[in-house]
Amino acid sequence: MPTLPSPDADPAVLQVWGGSSLQGHVKISGAKNSALVLITAALLCSEDCRLRNVPSLVDVTRIGQILVSLGVKLKQQDDILNINASTISKSKAPYELVSQLRASFFAIGPLLARLGSACVPLPGGCTIGARPVALHVRGLQLMGADVQIEHGMVNAHVRGNRGRLQGAKIYLDYPSVGATETLMMAATLAQGETIIENAAQEPEVVDLANFCNSMGAKIRGAGTNTIVISGVSRLHSTDYSIIPDRVEAATFLVAGAITYSEISMSPVVPEHLTAAIAKLQDIGVQVVTEGSDCLRVIPSHNLVATDIETLPYPGFPTDMQAQFMALLALSEGNSLVSETVFENRLRHVPELNRMGADIRVKNNHAIIRGVPLLTGAPVVATDLRASAALVLAGLAAQGKTTIQGLHHLDRGYENLEAKFLGLGAKLERVPQSVAIANDAFSPINSDALISS
């Protein structure tokens, strides 16, 4: 697992020299958004759990630290993580760790289900939005939990002396990924049947259900908008492999398109990328499936504008919006990108404009007038996917781009530089002081370290 970033007087920056075409094949890592919740779900099980294809990411290190603080034993070897939660002793997750990783809030579900009580810090907002958790809390209350929010902590315990959560019918006002996952985990050990309606249908939700079912849970309907969970009294050990990261794969699809390069990638689940592949075809880029788990980008030099609206799955994913905006910045004509999932996820626009893009923002819409080329510049990453978009823009731009705020990138991309170097890209991570010494680069004031 990578070491956690510490406030650094000389933080690293990424220098990207654009204009090279890419070639070859890239290996796609395990999915970050699956790994985080599957590791959390291991809290439900009092026997050994083995997870394979675990990506080496800062966020994975963080969720591991939170579990260890609760008394869980972890052993990692390469991309295999052995988890034993038989001796969890605490139901209170430490503020300093949870505040660094929003997804750790989802632990409230398995802790409450397993121990009958849970105390988890209320995750604050982040750079992309307010990120409330009311849907999580409401669902747990319907399952018989008493939930108090005091001093920034969410204290939950099973009402009365039943000790176990009770099955319930829960309608989600919004198909929240996190709320669906938290409630699905809680319902796994509840008494009776739980029905989650208007549930999220993301592949990571399905991966979580499959993981829980491999431990003996009874979950049906994951991947549809209605999930039915018949509670069981306990779960057993498992050996499970995490799905490939569809967002990382989409980032490399765009890398091929934006550098006019033919590259391939695997393993992927092509169906998980249907919306992204459809938009690439609208832009003029062909994507072919080779075998069952490999995709190849067939580039085009005539990129054309198209409109994108982010939506819950199977709609176009918000986690791919920034990367596609970098591509649309170089596509002929006017594109409209509407971000409907998060209220503050267009912060990469001024940075792309610094590189010569022509993008205007009005509320949650970005109007993009395609330009013939981008030029390298010093830019700042404001969140995880924005950082990926700036790397892609840098690969396409003339000259050198220097990207600050790499702590965002390291949260969600495993060995991104090595993978791009393997495809023939020119980029290098250097201490900021070296970048300053190399040329007239002066650092721009970057965001706080909070992560989504």
Helix/strand/coil for 235: coil
Annotated binding site: 32-33, 102, 319, 341
Residue of 45, 49, 119, 126 marked catalytic = 126
Stretch that binds ligand EPZ, among 29-37, 78-86, 140-148, 261-269 (CB under 6 A): 29-37
Does position 18 interact with ligand EPZ (CB under 6 A)? The reply is no
Q: Rounded distance, CA 46 to CA 259, Å?
A: 49
Annotated binding site for UDP-N-acetyl-alpha-D-glucosamine: 102, 319, 341
Letters for 200-229 (x = contact with ligand EPZ by CB under 6 A, - = none) are x---x-------------------------
Does position 321 interact with ligand EPZ (CB under 6 A)? The reply is no
Which CB atom, from 227 or from 303, has the smaller least distance to ligand EPZ? 227
A 10 A CB-CB count for 7 gives 7
Length of the chain: 452
Packing angle between helix 108-115 and helix 177-188, nearest 10 degrees? Answer: 10
CB 5 within 8 A of CB 408: no
Alpha helices (H) in 129-233, listed in sequence order: 134-142, 177-188, 203-214
Which CB atom, from 139 or from 144, has the smaller least distance to ligand EPZ? 139
Q: Token digits for 369?
A: 């007038």
Which CB atom, from 303 or from 388, has the smaller least distance to ligand EPZ? 388
* 128-146: burial string, b at 16+ Cβ within 10 Å, e else: bbebebebbbbbbebbbbe
Per rule CB under 6 A, count of chain residues that contact ligand EPZ? 27
Of 72, 76, 63, nearest in space to 91 by CA: 72
Letters for 95-134 (x = contact with ligand EPZ by CB under 6 A, - = none) are --------x-------------------------xxxxxx
Q: Rounded distance, CA 416 to CA 409, Å?
A: 9
Q: Identify the residue among 65, 176, 194, 382 touching ligand EPZ (CB under 6 A).
A: 176
Does position 174 interact with ligand EPZ (CB under 6 A)? The reply is yes
Which CB atom, from 136 or from 400, has the smaller least distance to ligand EPZ? 136
Residues 265, 407, 104: CA angle, nearest 5 degrees: 85
Q: Which residues are within 8 A (CB) of 95 and not within 5 positions of it... i.e. 6 or more apart?
A: 121, 152, 153
For strands 426-431 and 12-17, give the pairing. antiparallel
Q: How far are the Cα atoms of 147, 158, 255, 386 from residue 380, in angstroms, in the given order?
A: 39, 45, 19, 9
The least distance separating ligand EPZ from the CB of residue 86, rounded to whole angstroms, comes to 26
- Measured from each CB, the residue nearest to ligand EPZ is 178
Q: Identify the residue among 385, 400, 408, 419 touching ligand EPZ (CB under 6 A).
A: 385
Annotated binding site for phosphoenolpyruvate: 32-33
Q: Is 126 a catalytic residue?
A: yes
Q: Identify the residue among 72, 177, 228, 265 touching ligand EPZ (CB under 6 A).
A: 177
Which CB atom, from 164 or from 385, has the smaller least distance to ligand EPZ? 385
Which CB atom, from 36 or from 303, has the smaller least distance to ligand EPZ? 36
The least distance separating ligand EPZ from the CB of residue 245, rounded to whole angstroms, comes to 9
The least distance separating ligand EPZ from the CB of residue 12, rounded to whole angstroms, comes to 21
CB 217 within 8 A of CB 223: no
- List the interface residues with ligand EPZ, window 230-289 (CB under 6 A): none
Does position 382 interact with ligand EPZ (CB under 6 A)? The reply is no
Q: Rounded distance, CA 397 to CA 394, Å?
A: 5
Annotated active-site positions, please?
126
Binding site for ligand EPZ (CB under 6 A): 32-33, 36, 103, 129-136, 174, 176-179, 200, 204, 318-319, 341-342, 384-385, 412, 452
